[in-house]
Chains A and B, each alone.
Chain A
Amino acid sequence: MAMDNTFEIRDLRVSVEGKEILKGVSLTIRKGEIHALMGPNGSGKSTLSMALMGHPLYSVTNGTALYKGLDVLGLPPDERARQGLFLAFQYPQTIPGLTVSSFLRMAVSARRGLLVRANGDARPDGPRRPGQDLLPVKEFLRELKEKMAALKLDSSFMSRHLNDGFSGGEKKRVEILQMALLNPEFAILDETDSGLDIDALKVVAEGVNRLTGPNMGVLLITHYQRLLDYIKPHVVHVLMDGRIVRTGGPELARELEAQGYEGFRPSADGGEATHATPA
């Protein structure tokens, strides 16, 4: 029985278009912990994040993801989000014509249970005037401006269309802005560092560090050690070919940086993950 303060993934298998990508992944994140998930391109990191968030293309063939005593894998993605799960996408989508502020006001209202109840039912108290189910504009804008300033996002972004024409770095900062507003309990950050120059990386890392704390668990997916200079993980996992092949402390990341991933490859028979130290 999972506790309220853990997110427990057990033996997760995920296929995409009939091909098995995750071949039994287990990991447990407690609130207050930052876990780094590292692995070469194509090892299945994004597949894990998409499956946990509930993208319909990623079919879960086995396993559970327990959170608040609930297997989130059985919930639609919007309900997972309202329950406090968050994913900062590796490749955020563009929505032409939808302003950042309109979108975020609705999203925040949803997360705070104004738009729909957490379980997805329409609000129970009968028909209401449109707009009444949203956070009041003033209150929302005050909060939005404050969070944008913290991420060094110009306030003109509020009226820009979601990710439309944004640079890579701007997209990533807007992902973290969403995280800041939605205040998740468990956040997955999928290569939030990629495409960022060093200054942008610092801003984003500071943003993440401000948000995390005893009430949030984080799965930090990254390809490089670089991000971990700014966000200190408690635990590091190495994912290869759809399996976690090593779990360790922060030193594991430095080891990877020095040795590369090759030595971590699991044995060809596909058996247990090897825990052998590279030569």
Chain B
Amino acid sequence: MQPLPSDLEAVKSLYKEKYGFSDAEDYVFKARKGLDERGVAEISHLKNEAPWLREYRLKALHVFAKKRMPNWGGDLSAIDFNNVYYYIRPSERSEDNWEDVPEYIKNTFDRLGIPEAEKKGLLGGVGAQYESEVVYHSLQEQWTKQGVLFLDPDSALRDHADLFRRWFGKVIPVADNKFAALNSAVFSGGSFIYVPPGVKVTVPLQAYFRINAKNMGQFERTLIIADRGSDVHYVEGCTAPVYSSDSLHSAVVELVALEGAHIRYTTIQNWSNNVYNLVTKRALAHAGAFVEWVDCNLGSKVTMKYPSVYMVGAGARAEILSLAFAADGQHQDAGGKVVHAAPDTRSTIVSKSISKGRGKTTYRGLVKVERGAERAKSHVQCDALLLDPESVSETFPYIENEEDRATLTHEATVSKVGEDQLFYLMSRGLPQVHAMNLIVRGFAESIVKEMPMEYAVEMNRLIEIQMEGAVG
């Protein structure tokens, strides 16, 4: 049974202690604000990149400049691309020994509890990114011996250039959308994972992302290749200190699940409410492969994120679980996208959203079935919970079906926390705040229970933090 965090006061002060702090800036390199060819070339130069990648970045910069901002989704009008730091290098290199990480960064991650879980043997490997660079990386010997790679992109480019180049940018091309182009131009940090055929990585690999500087832009790039019949679970977490000015987080995540492989990708995003979170996540699922996104979005100012799975081989499966919590002043525009491009493919999208105060959640999803994807099956379930009279939720479930022999189902519910439910729990001695928390936690349970135990506990705690002040 899970421990039950419950004392709100304790949680609040724990949170401030835990995530809300910031470090003095002591960086090896901090690019000037703004975005131009020189800046992009400079990033490439600092990373000693091959000419092809430098060209790739510069081309992406042009695509970014030409692409229009999305005219749907969240309000992005306040983003000032000239007021963002695109690259900050906090330390000389990525360490594989925790002791060698610069003291102040180490302290930060120690406070966030990052190396602890690794020590306890709960994780197969750990990456920790601070600003633009991965400052620490490790993979247990058990997995390195079996040929598993878990690296930051710079190291992958240095030591496994062919493998990296073969898949990089193939799932999400530069021109996919404005923010994918931006990431392609200035990306730095992230993870590269390769799992050889048949290897089953039985414990999660974890990456942790931390933004520290004001007006920082974090543009990590993650590429995971699960070779035939392999299995991997990747977990990422993100936090940032609270500033009054905005930060930008725009990642690109590409997954390739080859025949019969299984990838589960779990995100616990806990950005402070000054972060624009605009992330492109997409997976290719080959025949018989199974890709799962468990995507939890808390915090941020605006999030636009629709993890997707393209099922390109017969019998491929996709499952997208999306949990969003929009507190006052936040907009979570989230959902998922599945493309059935082969017969006998199956997908499920489950979206649960919670709006508090004037918070707004949007479910935006697409189920696309291409002609020839016979017997494709898809089910979409969207549940919204409104905590306050002024809370907002909207649903845009798009369907494009070209195949007669496909079965598509959709269910949506919107509910309010019932007075009778609240009273029932309170009549057992629970203060209103606790009662409300339990109802919200129950609502999120079907997604939270999919997480490894430690993360589920953390997730429940984060929900409680978001619930702060939700009731009288």
Chain A residues within CB distance 8 Å of chain B = 53-57, 76-78, 80-82, 86-87, 89, 92-98, 101-103, 105-107, 109-111, 115-116, 120, 122-123, 127-134, 137, 141, 161-162, 178, 182
The answer on a CB contact under 8 Å between B423 and A77 is: yes
Q: Which residues of A contact B425 (CB under 8 A)?
A: 95, 103, 107
The answer on a CB contact under 8 Å between B7 and A93 is: no
The answer on a CB contact under 8 Å between A107 and B428 is: yes
Q: B175 on the interface (CB 8 Å rule)?
A: no
Find the B residue at minimum CB distance from A88.
Answer: B427
A169 to B439 CA separation, bound complex (whole angstroms) = 23
Closest Cβ–Cβ distance, residue A185 to chain B (whole Å): 13
A-B pairs with beta carbons under 8 Å apart, 16 shown = A76-B426, A78-B427, A78-B432, A78-B435, A95-B421, A97-B443, A98-B441, A103-B438, A122-B9, A130-B3, A130-B14, A131-B5, A132-B7, A137-B3, A161-B442, A162-B442
B416-430: which have CB < 8 Å to A?
A: 418-421, 423-430
Residue picked from A87, A89, A103, A161, most chain B C-beta under 10 Å: A103
Q: Which residues of B contact A101 (CB under 8 A)?
A: 1
B1-51: which have CB < 8 Å to A?
A: 1-14
**Which of B14, B430, B439 contacts A110, CB < 8 Å?**
B430
Q: B113 on the interface (CB 8 Å rule)?
A: no
The answer on a CB contact under 8 Å between A81 and B426 is: yes
A53 to B442 CA separation, bound complex (whole angstroms) = 24
Q: Which residues of B contact A178 (CB under 8 A)?
A: 428
Find the A residue at minimum CB distance from B418.
Answer: A93
Asked, given contacts A107-B430, A128-B10, whether A56 binds B3 with beta carbons under 8 Å apart, the answer is: no
A129 to B461 CA separation, bound complex (whole angstroms) = 11
Q: Which residues of B contact A55 (CB under 8 A)?
A: 420, 423
A178 to B430 CA separation, bound complex (whole angstroms) = 13
- B442-454 vs A, CB cutoff 8 Å, 1 = contact: the mask equals 1111100000000
A116 to B435 CA separation, bound complex (whole angstroms) = 13
Q: What 6 new A-B contacts, CB under 8 Å, besides A82-B429, A95-B439, A115-B6?
A: A93-B424, A95-B438, A97-B445, A103-B428, A115-B431, A132-B10
Closest Cβ–Cβ distance, residue B156 to chain A (whole Å): 38
Closest Cβ–Cβ distance, residue A86 to chain B (whole Å): 8
Q: Which residues of B contact A127 (CB under 8 A)?
A: 7, 9-10, 12-14
Q: Which residues of A contact B423 (CB under 8 A)?
A: 53-56, 77, 93
The answer on a CB contact under 8 Å between B434 and A106 is: yes
Residue picked from A82, A86, A96, A120, most chain B C-beta under 10 Å: A96
Asked, given contacts A95-B442, A98-B445, whether A106 binds B427 with beta carbons under 8 Å apart, the answer is: no
The answer on a CB contact under 8 Å between B427 and A53 is: yes
The answer on a CB contact under 8 Å between B424 and A89 is: yes
Top 8 A-B pairs ranked by shortest CB distance? A130-B5, A97-B442, A97-B445, A110-B429, A98-B442, A81-B429, A93-B424, A107-B428
The answer on a CB contact under 8 Å between B419 and A106 is: no
A115 to B11 CA separation, bound complex (whole angstroms) = 13
Closest Cβ–Cβ distance, residue A198 to chain B (whole Å): 28
Closest Cβ–Cβ distance, residue B6 to chain A (whole Å): 6
Closest Cβ–Cβ distance, residue A127 to chain B (whole Å): 4
A77 to B439 CA separation, bound complex (whole angstroms) = 17
The answer on a CB contact under 8 Å between A102 and B9 is: no
Q: Which residues of A contact B420 (CB under 8 A)?
A: 55, 93
The answer on a CB contact under 8 Å between A97 and B444 is: yes
The answer on a CB contact under 8 Å between B6 and A130 is: yes
Find the B residue at minimum CB distance from A95.
Answer: B442
Find the A residue at minimum CB distance from B352.
Answer: A97
Asked, given contacts A93-B418, A130-B4, whether A110 binds B10 with beta carbons under 8 Å apart, the answer is: no
A141 to B2 CA separation, bound complex (whole angstroms) = 12
The answer on a CB contact under 8 Å between B432 and A129 is: no
Closest Cβ–Cβ distance, residue A242 to chain B (whole Å): 22
A109 to B10 CA separation, bound complex (whole angstroms) = 16
The answer on a CB contact under 8 Å between B13 and A57 is: no
Q: Which residues of B contact A122 (CB under 8 A)?
A: 7-9
The answer on a CB contact under 8 Å between B430 and A141 is: no
Closest Cβ–Cβ distance, residue A147 to chain B (whole Å): 15
**Which of B11, B431, B439, B464 contacts A98, CB < 8 Å?**
B439
Find the B residue at minimum CB distance from A81.
Answer: B429
Closest Cβ–Cβ distance, residue A13 to chain B (whole Å): 21
Q: Which residues of A contact B13 (CB under 8 A)?
A: 127
Closest Cβ–Cβ distance, residue B331 to chain A (whole Å): 25
Asked, given contacts A122-B9, A133-B10, whether A57 binds B429 with beta carbons under 8 Å apart, the answer is: no
Closest Cβ–Cβ distance, residue B325 to chain A (whole Å): 15
Closest Cβ–Cβ distance, residue B130 to chain A (whole Å): 27
**Which of B8, B12, B428 contacts A182, CB < 8 Å?**
B428
The answer on a CB contact under 8 Å between B429 and A78 is: yes
Find the A residue at minimum CB distance from B444.
Answer: A97
The answer on a CB contact under 8 Å between A107 and B443 is: no
**Which of A93, A116, A131 contacts B3, CB < 8 Å?**
A131
Asked, given contacts A95-B438, A115-B6, A122-B9, whether A57 binds B430 with beta carbons under 8 Å apart, the answer is: no
The answer on a CB contact under 8 Å between A128 and B429 is: no
The answer on a CB contact under 8 Å between B424 and A57 is: no
Q: Which residues of B contact A134 (CB under 8 A)?
A: 3-4, 6
A178 to B424 CA separation, bound complex (whole angstroms) = 12
Find the B residue at minimum CB distance from A84.
Answer: B429
Closest Cβ–Cβ distance, residue B174 to chain A (whole Å): 41
**Which of A53, A77, A105, A128 contacts B7, CB < 8 Å?**
A128
The answer on a CB contact under 8 Å between A78 and B11 is: no
Find the A residue at minimum CB distance from B439.
Answer: A95
Closest Cβ–Cβ distance, residue A117 to chain B (whole Å): 11
The answer on a CB contact under 8 Å between B7 and A96 is: no
A242 to B13 CA separation, bound complex (whole angstroms) = 49
A101 to B441 CA separation, bound complex (whole angstroms) = 14
Q: Which residues of A contact B2 (CB under 8 A)?
A: 102
Find the B residue at minimum CB distance from A104.
Answer: B428
A81 to B443 CA separation, bound complex (whole angstroms) = 25
A166 to B464 CA separation, bound complex (whole angstroms) = 28
Q: Which residues of B contact A129 (CB under 8 A)?
A: 10, 14
A76 to B427 CA separation, bound complex (whole angstroms) = 9
Q: Which residues of B contact A182 (CB under 8 A)?
A: 428-429
Q: Which residues of B contact A162 (CB under 8 A)?
A: 442
Residue picked from A56, A97, A120, A141, most chain B C-beta under 10 Å: A97
Q: Which residues of A contact B14 (CB under 8 A)?
A: 127, 129-130
Closest Cβ–Cβ distance, residue B128 to chain A (whole Å): 24
A80 to B6 CA separation, bound complex (whole angstroms) = 20
Q: Which residues of A contact B11 (CB under 8 A)?
A: 130
Q: Which residues of B contact A78 (CB under 8 A)?
A: 426-432, 435
Q: Which residues of A contact B1 (CB under 8 A)?
A: 101-102, 137, 141
Find the A residue at minimum CB distance from B12.
Answer: A127
Closest Cβ–Cβ distance, residue A46 to chain B (whole Å): 12
